Amino acid sequence: MKKHVFGRHFKRDTNERKALFKNLMNELVLHERIRTTEEKARAIRGQVERLVTKAKRKKELSRQFLQPFLSSMAVEKVIADLAPRFADRPGGYTRVLKLGSRFSDNADMAVIEWVERPVKAEIVSTPVVKGIPLRPDTAKATSGKQSSTGQAKLEKKEAVVAVEQKATKMPEKKAGKSFKARKK
């Protein structure tokens, strides 16, 4: 019986475990959201939060603290993006969301992500005909021709008919024995 054993070992030796945690932390920093097992997510959660706190507090020296744990791209992202993002937050930078069990081995899966994520807003202008906005696919078809509304509707119907014809056309079967011929 092992007593006073701290941390999760995942049936790996020390070097394998460190490499696993380093890879998971790099992916979390670079992609801002990863899907892994619940145990692995909980294992790296504390380490990642410590790294962000170090980047916030020791601004000039943070590279030297972060390099053993993260790749160079991840270190730059922590210093340039994550530390300013969490400047007002005292802790709790990540969240772990449970997903359910994995089909193959029934392992509990989870998503670990940053609590505050940047929002990418995209403003798209759509052409309006008589107060009705056109869909983007019809706007592309009508923008080059400068057509009237009746022609735009006609082109749209033609496009829909062409798509339906492609969907309903079945490939012909090759010559061979059918089920009835094999049954006899």
Q: Which CATH number goes with the domain that contains 91?
A: 3.90.1030.10
Residue 143 lies in a domain: yes
Inside any domain, residue 64: yes
The parent domain of residue 134 ranges over 128-168
- pLDDT for 133 equals 66
Helix (H, G, I), strand (E, B) or coil at 161: helix
Q: Does residue 51 share a domain with residue 86?
A: yes
Looking at residue 165, its pLDDT comes to 47
- Sheet of 94-101: strands edge to edge? 33-37, 108-114, 94-101
Report how many domains make up the chain: 2
pLDDT of 169:
46
Q: Please check whether residues 149 and 76 belong to one and the same domain.
A: no
Are 126 and 120 a contacting pair, CB within 8 Å? Answer: no
Work out the angle at residue 39's Cα, subtended by the Cα atoms of residues 38 and 45, and round it to the nearest 5 degrees. Answer: 90
pTM of the shown model: 0.62
Question: What is the chain's pLDDT, residue by residue, as a tens digit (184 residues)?
Answer: 777 877 788 888 989 999 999 999 999 999 999 999 999 999 999 999 999 999 998 877 889 999 999 999 999 999 999 999 999 999 999 999 999 999 999 999 999 999 988 777 666 666 667 667 666 655 444 444 454 555 555 554 554 544 444 444 445 545 555 555 555 5
pLDDT of residue 5: 77
Segment 44-81, tens digit of pLDDT:
999 999 999 999 988 778 899 999 999 999 999 999 99
DSSP secondary structure, 24-48, as one string: HHHHHHHHSEEEEEHHHHHHHHHHH
Q: Which of 75, 87, 94, 109 is nearest to 32 (CA)?
A: 94
Is residue 109 domain-shared with residue 43, that is, in the same domain?
A: yes
Q: Are residues 154 and 70 in the same domain?
A: no
